[in-house]
């Protein structure tokens, strides 16, 4: 999806604006009711209306909600198209009894084709900003620092329901454990140490919290509690009091624990086993590369769709390889059956014609998927923010991969019984190694 440049004042978006010269009588804007994602029933293209006034369109140019509304319309957005020309789309939008909306194009200026027709509301996706590891430390019996933290859960797009999948450790309170989030809104989940934490023996204790959106998105947060021995009894007053030992060092955030990677691949095999081999990805020239060596990825599929390639390196950092920011906006990872793709390709900008192998040393995995066109890969897995980061690891590899698996499981459940739902998928796993 393409995101506008700049913002408009929310107040201007909600106001009932008087008619501008030549515009006749404007209708009341349904902006509040439109906040969230909408899927065009005939084409599968998406429009996301953000609370701050941004308008994102699948393969579309930058846009924002307009401050004035044309005669006969009740909603409008405008921006600059891919040829740097201004355009404007004004609609009369009606809300139908089946929950869909009908977008009737009233005014169209510029070369961008304003999409019109019926749109169905998309499910909101559950996300959360860092930190991915929440740490507590203190001496046996307390006090602990901090004694509480929080996780901010965010609805990306439409309103959603969420719930805590894992109970959590006995020494922690999680409140609330479920709830609702408004479109593009957020909620704070408070994590508080219980009195049971004071009776825990010295040591290091790790746990995991998993939050799930009702339709899309899984958020995982690791908990790390360090309990040190209580300081010795104070000496007689004439002697200076000893200093308490510092808390033990907090372990670094491991992006994707080995056990979770194995579980994810096992579940992907259970879901997409019949699609194994329909897409293949390899390191051109051989899957064993020396540090400093130059290499490319090569992918080929026997089914058409949306290609996604993930790299899980030896340290289990997860990186989105394809699609990436060097692809055209109207492409977003599409692949034709029998077509071979090189990454980097010859048409990538500048001197980017291959990658250079760097540490970490060891064995990694390439996960390749071909998803059907009606599977919303750009909602979570390949959203614009991830693509624009370039070839760097995602911030929370565990939650990212869990969300992808959950999205696949949800899509297959919705399509069950329609016939041939797995025939449109491709799945492949390839091992590689970085050596000295």
What pLDDT is attached to residue 27? Answer: 53
Q: Would 4 be classed as within a structural domain?
A: no
Region of poorest pLDDT, from 184-188, 205-209, 228-232, 287-291: 228-232
What pLDDT is attached to residue 426? Answer: 94
Q: Would 365 be classed as within a structural domain?
A: yes
Number of domains composing the chain:
3
Q: What digits encode the pLDDT tens for the residues 222-276?
A: 999 999 887 776 666 665 544 544 433 333 444 577 888 888 889 999 999 899 9
Same domain, 299 and 419: yes
Q: For residue 377, count CB atoms less than 10 angstroms from its CB and return exposed for 0-12, middle for 13-18, buried for 19 or more.
A: buried
Q: How far apart are CA 39 and CA 48, in angstroms?
A: 9
Q: Is 404 helix (H, G, I), strand (E, B) or coil?
A: helix
DSSP state of 423: G
Query: Could you tell me the CATH number of the domain that includes residue 137?
Result: 2.60.40.10
Q: Would 85 be classed as within a structural domain?
A: yes
Q: How confident is the model at residue 125 (pLDDT cuts 50, 70, 90)?
A: confident
CA distances to 48, 326, 395, 414 from 215, in Å: 17, 30, 22, 11
Same domain, 220 and 75: no
CB 368 within 8 A of CB 321: no
Same domain, 263 and 372: yes
What pLDDT is attached to residue 238? Answer: 61
Where among 92, 121, 150 does a domain terminate? Answer: 121
Where among 210, 228, 246 does a domain terminate? Answer: 228
Same domain, 385 and 327: yes
Q: What is the mean pLDDT of residues 303-317?
A: 92
Instruction: Taking the CA atoms of 138, 144, 146 and 147 in sequence, report the sign of the dihedral they define.
Output: positive
Where among 57, 92, 121 does a domain terminate? Answer: 121
Q: Would 38 be classed as within a structural domain?
A: yes
> Is the pLDDT higher at 317 or at 9?
317
What pLDDT is attached to residue 244? Answer: 43
What pLDDT is attached to residue 307? Answer: 94
Residue 11 pLDDT more than 70? no
Same domain, 113 and 149: no
Q: What is the mean pLDDT of residues 421-435?
A: 92
Residue 115: closest CA among 84, 67, 77: 77
Sequence-distant (≥ 6) Cβ neighbours of residue 186 within 8 angstroms: 152, 153, 154, 155
CB 11 within 8 A of CB 23: no
- Average pLDDT across the chain, whole number: 83
Q: What digits encode the pLDDT tens for the residues 362-415?
A: 999 999 999 998 888 877 777 777 787 888 888 788 888 888 998 898 888 888
Percent of the chain with pLDDT over 90: 41
Q: Would 233 be classed as within a structural domain?
A: no
Domain with 199 in it: 125-228
Same domain, 166 and 76: no
Same domain, 134 and 102: no
CA atoms within 13 A on the CB side of 180: 4
Q: How far apart are CA 96 and CA 209, in angstroms?
A: 39
Q: What digits encode the pLDDT tens for the residues 136-159?
A: 998 888 889 898 999 999 998 888
Q: Would 205 be classed as within a structural domain?
A: yes
**Encoding tokens for residue 200?**
């825990």
Q: Would 23 be classed as within a structural domain?
A: yes
> Is the pLDDT higher at 89 or at 333?
89
Same domain, 288 and 409: yes
Same domain, 270 and 417: yes
Same domain, 275 and 411: yes
Percent of the chain with pLDDT over 70: 86
Q: What is the mean pLDDT of residues 300-323?
A: 92
Q: Would 73 be classed as within a structural domain?
A: yes
Strand partners for 396: none
Residue 54: closest CA among 33, 77, 73, 32: 77
Same domain, 316 and 352: yes
Same domain, 68 and 133: no
């Amino acid at each position: 999806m393409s995101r506008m440049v700049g913002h408009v004042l929310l107040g201007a978006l909600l106001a009932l604006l008087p008619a501008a010269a030549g515009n006749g009588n404007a209708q009341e804007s349904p902006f509040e009711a439109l906040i969230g994602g909408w899927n065009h029933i005939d084409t599968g293209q998406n429009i996301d209306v953000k609370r701050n006034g941004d308008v994102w369109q699948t393969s579309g140019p930058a846009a924002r909600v307009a401050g004035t509304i044309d005669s006969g319309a009740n909603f409008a957005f405008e921006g600059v198209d891919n040829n740097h020309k201004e355009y404007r789309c004004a609609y009369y939008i009606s809300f139908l009894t089946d929950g869909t909306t009908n977008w009737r194009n009233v005014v169209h200026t510029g070369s961008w084709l304003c999409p019109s027709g019926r749109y169905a509301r998309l499910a909101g996706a559950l996300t959360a900003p860092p930190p991915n590891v929440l740490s507590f430390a203190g001496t046996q019996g307390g006090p602990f620092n901090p004694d509480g933290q929080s996780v901010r859960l965010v609805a990306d797009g439409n309103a959603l329901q969420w719930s805590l999948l894992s109970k959590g450790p006995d020494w922690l309170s999680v409140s609330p454990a479920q709830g609702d989030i408004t479109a593009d809104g957020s909620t704070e989940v408070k994590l508080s140490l219980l009195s049971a934490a004071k009776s825990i023996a010295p040591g290091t204790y790790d746990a995991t919290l998993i939050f799930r959106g009702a339709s899309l998105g899984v958020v995982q947060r690791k908990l790390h509690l360090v309990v040190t021995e209580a300081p010795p009894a104070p000496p007689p007053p004439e002697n200076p009091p000893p200093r308490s030992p510092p808390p033990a060092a907090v372990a670094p955030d491991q992006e994707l624990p080995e056990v979770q990677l194995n579980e994810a691949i096992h579940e992907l095999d259970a879901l997409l086993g019949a699609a194994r081999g329909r897409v293949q990805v390899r390191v051109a020239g051989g899957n064993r590369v020396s540090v400093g060596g130059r290499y490319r990825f090569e992918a080929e599929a026997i089914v058409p769709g949306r290609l996604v390639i993930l790299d899980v390196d030896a340290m289990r950092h997860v990186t989105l390889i394809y699609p990436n920011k060097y692809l055209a906006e109207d492409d977003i990872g599409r692949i034709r059956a029998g077509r071979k793709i090189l990454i980097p390709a010859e048409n990538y900008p500048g001197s980017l014609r291959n990658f250079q192998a760097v540490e970490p040393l060891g064995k990694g995995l390439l996960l390749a998927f071909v998803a059907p066109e009606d599977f919303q890969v750009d909602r979570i897995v390949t959203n614009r923010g991830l693509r624009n980061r370039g070839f760097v690891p995602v911030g929370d590899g565990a939650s990212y991969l869990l969300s992808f698996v959950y999205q696949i499981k949800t899509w297959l459940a919705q399509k069950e019984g329609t016939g041939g739902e797995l025939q449109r998928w491709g799945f492949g796993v390839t091992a590689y190694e970085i050596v000295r």
